[in-house]
Amino acid sequence: MKILSLDYQKYSLHNGLEVILYPETSLPITVVNLWYNVGSSRDSKRKTGLAHLFEHMMFQGSRHVKKGEHFKFIQDSGGTLNASTSFDVTNYFEKIPSDFLETALWLESDRMGFFLEALTDETLANQIEVVKNERLERYDNQPYGLTWEKVFGLLYKETHPYHAPTIGYMKDILSYNQKDVGEFFNTYYQPRNASVVIAGDFEIEQTKDLIEKYFGEMKSAKEVSPLLTDAKNLLESKSEIVYDAVSLEKILLVWNTEKIFHENNFALDILSDILTGSKNGRLYNILVLQRELALQVSAFQFSGKYGGFFCVTATAKPGKSLDEIKKIILAELDHLFKNEITSEELTRAKNGIKANFIYSMQSLDSVANHLNHYNFYLGEPNSFSFELSLYEKVEKESVKQCALYFDKPYVDLRFVPKEKEVKL
């Protein structure tokens, strides 16, 4: 499809920084999207959450940019900005009026090259408090807030890069010091470990000059060694009940699947749509509509560089049994794999996916982030059509073949109101 094929340029600076340029001039807006090849998968066992804390520190100033100024420069220019940390990568972006591209490049390059000189005990202590609050607000003080920490903790052994939550455990968050932050920066924040996408309204040659001007003088330190993982799947099923400040019980069933862009992932995505994609999803239909056991049910496939899983989760209506819900989920999966999937189910899923690909091209931030995503995982930024074609290739049989993941050990995690806890 033509609109999914983007005209872009990709090259590397001599220091290894990858550059992807995608001109799109319909509005006077430009996006700078910078990915560092480091996520929480690199956090050490006793310093969980460091990659994420570091992302916060990147906004605390660098040699030529004072604390608070990064935000101020971008916001005064009418731009927006943010950052995020995942298991695999850390992502920073600015979306600015196109005249301000140079400002964004100056800011990003200053913190890539000259971060350490602005690092102080005071800024570190402040951001430790902010991250502590982030953890309280988004996880500890939220109903079901510990869901993913628990899932990853059960599904992956302590030695697996996805075992600990990206935000980190509270005791680790409180323990970071300047040395931790400095070493982390020196190891991972270097040009050869990053890729920058410029998308939007800009002039190509002029922008290449600007990128050379701001990033060309940076030196790359020694190469980041590959992450040696012990990414084994579960050997036996595990279960846990979390007694939480919740009123409704919730269950999550989680199976190991594949790493990102494995061919089976596309069938697994379609499987999730067939199960819970809409009112017509099989599990939605039976659990929410027919039997009225659940308030909601959803299924999805997650995958990253070092692992993947398929999750089915349901929130029980008051007084309904999680055991019964689980029994139905397992029976429906079994039925699906042993019987026919309808053509309509497959068409519905594929049409929705195709339309979503088109809708996702509306926003420049989303396009820029996809270019970095495809570049990071596939080495080819312009993979929109390729990815869509992998969904289009999925047939009924390929969905049924996913059965192989579901007769293996799995995680059964439940959230139950703490009033129900029986203390021995």
Partner 1 sequence: MMIDRATPPQIIEHAKFHLPEIQQIISARGMKGLFIQKAKLPMVQFTLIVSTGCILDEEGKSGLANLTAILIDEGAGGLSALELNNRFELLGSSIQISINHEFMYFTILSLEEKFEESISLLSKILTEPHFEQTEFLREKSKVLAQLLQIKDEPDTIADRVFEEQVFGAHNKLGHFNLGKEKDIELLSNEDVKNFYHSFISFGRSGFVCAGSLNANDLKKFIDQYVDSFGEEKNVANPMFLVPAKKRRLFYVHKTDAQQTEIRIGNLSGKRSDSDFYAKAVMNTILGGQFNSRINFKLRETKGFTYGANSYFAYRKEIGYFSLTTSVQSEHTVEAVQDIFSELKQIKETISADELEAAKLSIIRRFPSNFETYYQLASGLNTLYTYDLQPSYFDEYLSKVQAVTIDDALTAAKENIKEDEMVVVLVGDKTQFINQVNEFGFDEIMEMNENGEPLISP
Amino acid at residue number 164: A
Sole residue written with tokens 């990147």: 58
* CA distances from residue 319 to 27, 141, 249 in whole angstroms, order as listed: 54, 24, 9
Q: How many helices (H) and strands (E) does the chain have?
A: 16, 11
How far apart are the C-alpha atoms of 363 and 30, rounded to whole Å? 11
Of 19 and 231, nearer to partner 1 (C-beta) is 19
DSSP letter, residue 362: G
Of 103 and 166, nearer to partner 1 (C-beta) is 103
CB of 122 to partner 1, least distance (A): 10
CB of 55 to partner 1, least distance (A): 13
| φ, ψ of residue 119 in degrees (nearest 5) | -75, 125
Of 143 and 409, nearer to partner 1 (C-beta) is 143
Beta-carbon neighbour count of residue 141 at 10 Å? 11
Nearest to 51 by CA among 40, 65, 63: 40
Of 210 and 267, nearer to partner 1 (C-beta) is 210
Q: Which residues pair with residue 308 across a beta bridge? A: 303
Of 210 and 234, nearer to partner 1 (C-beta) is 210
CB of 60 to partner 1, least distance (A): 9
CB of 229 to partner 1, least distance (A): 31
CB of 69 to partner 1, least distance (A): 9
Of 26 and 339, nearer to partner 1 (C-beta) is 26
How far apart are the C-alpha atoms of 11 and 20, rounded to whole Å? 7
CB of 382 to partner 1, least distance (A): 17
- What value, to the nearest 5°, has the Cα angle with vertex 328 and ends 293 and 238? 105
Q: Which residues pair with residue 85 across a beta bridge? A: 90
